[in-house]
A and B are shown apart, each in its own frame.
Chain A
């Protein structure tokens, strides 16, 4: 997956979780939990979907690395 594909994947998942928002308007360094007002259940669903679509292991301890779009792209393109 390219960085652009990972970013698009993250945006697709987020627009399913927060359907009335426009995740593509979030800046790369912004905390997506605050920008989209998503709670811990939503965030867990985000992680589950990322894991299922990329098959990359995401331990709970690494959750903070996924709080921004830039972080998600960096983490999943490693």
Chain B
């Protein structure tokens, strides 16, 4: 018997609202299954489970607010005869357990693969989710807000946006047709898009804590992107658009391999000491349309091919913006990367997301004068900037880390 707890979806989360259960007592679950939808100030998340077994009891009712670490459900091994307890009403009491700020949703079972094992591809992960929950994952934040205003459940609509996401237009159309059919006595659910004001406050809280507690130090290195970009051009020429790579995938993979070499930047500062990350799970900063920022994790980046990484990034960015991020992507990033993209500024000096100990930023790739063999020549260059926690590391290690990122980007074929 084990307890399934309300996960901490970031340092700034104190509680979450259980919006919907996708399992019931007696449901068999396996690692990676999405079992519930939880809403926080950053929007709605799919809560996935890290254990196998049978749900024996749902301890929180739909609509109930549960503190981080509070028991959501109880789980029994699948070979034992389950003693099934009926689900509670909305006012059922909840055990309050103090959980560490960043913890896995549930501890991995002894038989679970180690963090260094190859993670399933995105397609495999997606296919393990029921069609119902996959369909509900695709509502744009703007559509979610409009739907809440119009008291429409956007998750019942057919989406016409990219990846089949439900857009504002879909919501407006549904509203128009709903008005004509006024018989619908169906109770409405809360909107699941994020609230920009609450998101702002969440970012304010996390970043204030970072600047108050973390003694940051900063290092930058300018990197010649010539070899990486020519390799990318050749790679992309032979492929249809949906198999092409963006430079971001090279940044991410080079960062992951550099973290393997200099592991003291991959992990957490907790209770006055450094705790190494259990794998290289890199938070990827995604700016949200309408304001706000979220940095969900790509898991085990060091073990992925560039193509796998590109699919994972496309999937992650689409879900970050359209809804459907999973709790496992929010609980355990052990490092964060920000890439400003082709229209961004020259460089970004980051603010560390606590309790992580470092963050790496990449500016816009731009053609600039560069010296090779004593001759000035035009090259595409990028400024990489490390912000790191001086309690956990010193500048010397930071310099080694940036040098490793630079070296890895000079040999893209090995990434």
Give the interface of A toward B (CB within 8 A): 12-13, 15-20, 33-34, 37, 39-41, 44-45, 47-49, 51-52, 58-60
B336 at the interface (CB under 8 A from A): no
From the candidates A16, A33, A58, name the one contacting B167 in the complex (CB within 8 A).
A16
Are A44's CB and B246's CB within 8 A? yes
Q: Hey, which chain A residues are within 8 Å of B317, CB to CB? A: 41
Inter-chain CA distance A44–B244, complex, in Å, is 9
Are B341's CB and A45's CB within 8 A? no
- From residue 161 to 196 of chain B, which have CB atoms closer than 8 A to chain A? 161-163, 165, 167-169
Inter-chain CA distance A34–B342, complex, in Å, is 11
Q: How far is the CB of A63 from chain B (nearest CB, A)?
A: 10
Inter-chain CA distance A18–B163, complex, in Å, is 13
Are B237's CB and A60's CB within 8 A? yes
Are A60's CB and B289's CB within 8 A? no
- From residue 226 to 273 of chain B, which have CB atoms closer than 8 A to chain A? 233, 236-237, 240-242, 244, 246, 248
- Taking A15-B167, A19-B169, A51-B242 as known contacts, 15 extra A-B pairs with beta carbons closer than 8 A to each other, sorted by chain A number, are A16-B163, A19-B167, A37-B289, A39-B287, A39-B342, A40-B342, A41-B314, A41-B341, A44-B241, A45-B162, A48-B241, A51-B240, A51-B241, A60-B233, A60-B237
- From residue 112 to 151 of chain B, which have CB atoms closer than 8 A to chain A? 140, 142-143
Are B237's CB and A59's CB within 8 A? yes
Inter-chain CA distance A47–B318, complex, in Å, is 15
Are B169's CB and A15's CB within 8 A? yes
Are A19's CB and B248's CB within 8 A? no
Q: Hey, which chain A residues are within 8 Å of B169, CB to CB? A: 15, 19
Please indicate which of the listed interface residues A17, A41, A44, A49 has the most CB atoms of chain B within 10 Å of its own CB.
A41
From the candidates B162, B242, B246, B287, name the one contacting A16 in the complex (CB within 8 A).
B162
Inter-chain CA distance A42–B246, complex, in Å, is 11
Q: Hey, which chain B residues are within 8 Å of A37, CB to CB? A: 289
Inter-chain CA distance A49–B287, complex, in Å, is 22
Closest to B317 in A: A41
Are A19's CB and B343's CB within 8 A? no
Q: How far is the CB of A60 from chain B (nearest CB, A)?
A: 5
Inter-chain CA distance A12–B313, complex, in Å, is 23
The number of inter-chain residue pairs (CB within 8 angstroms) is: 66
B110 at the interface (CB under 8 A from A): no
Q: Hey, which chain B residues are within 8 Å of A60, CB to CB? A: 233, 236-237, 244
From the candidates B140, B236, B242, B244, name the one contacting A19 in the complex (CB within 8 A).
B140
How many residues of B are in contact with the other chain, CB < 8 A? 30
7 closest A-B pairs by CB:
A16-B161, A16-B162, A20-B142, A19-B140, A48-B241, A19-B167, A39-B341
Inter-chain CA distance A4–B248, complex, in Å, is 35
Inter-chain CA distance A48–B169, complex, in Å, is 22
Please indicate which of the listed interface residues A15, A39, A47, A49 has the most CB atoms of chain B within 10 Å of its own CB.
A39
Inter-chain CA distance A16–B164, complex, in Å, is 9
From the candidates A18, A41, A58, A59, name the one contacting B289 in the complex (CB within 8 A).
A18
Are A49's CB and B246's CB within 8 A? no
Q: How far is the CB of B172 from chain A (nearest CB, A)?
A: 11
Assuming the A-B contacts A15-B167, A19-B168, are A34 and B343 also in contact, with contact meaning beta carbons closer than 8 angstroms in the complex? Answer: yes
Q: Hey, which chain A residues are within 8 Å of B244, CB to CB? A: 44, 60
Assuming the A-B contacts A33-B343, A60-B233, are A40 and B246 also in contact, with contact meaning beta carbons closer than 8 angstroms in the complex? Answer: yes
Are B140's CB and A45's CB within 8 A? no
Closest to A12 in B: B160
B111 at the interface (CB under 8 A from A): no
Q: Hey, which chain A residues are within 8 Å of B233, CB to CB? A: 60
Inter-chain CA distance A17–B322, complex, in Å, is 10
Q: How far is the CB of A24 from chain B (nearest CB, A)?
A: 11
Inter-chain CA distance A13–B165, complex, in Å, is 11
Q: Hey, which chain A residues are within 8 Å of B343, CB to CB? A: 33-34, 39
Are A41's CB and B313's CB within 8 A? yes
Q: How far is the CB of B9 from chain A (nearest CB, A)?
A: 23
A-B contact list, 25 entries, CB within 8 Å: A12-B160, A13-B162, A15-B161, A15-B169, A16-B163, A19-B140, A19-B142, A19-B143, A19-B169, A19-B289, A20-B168, A20-B289, A20-B290, A34-B343, A39-B342, A40-B246, A40-B341, A41-B317, A44-B241, A44-B314, A45-B318, A47-B241, A51-B241, A52-B242, A58-B241
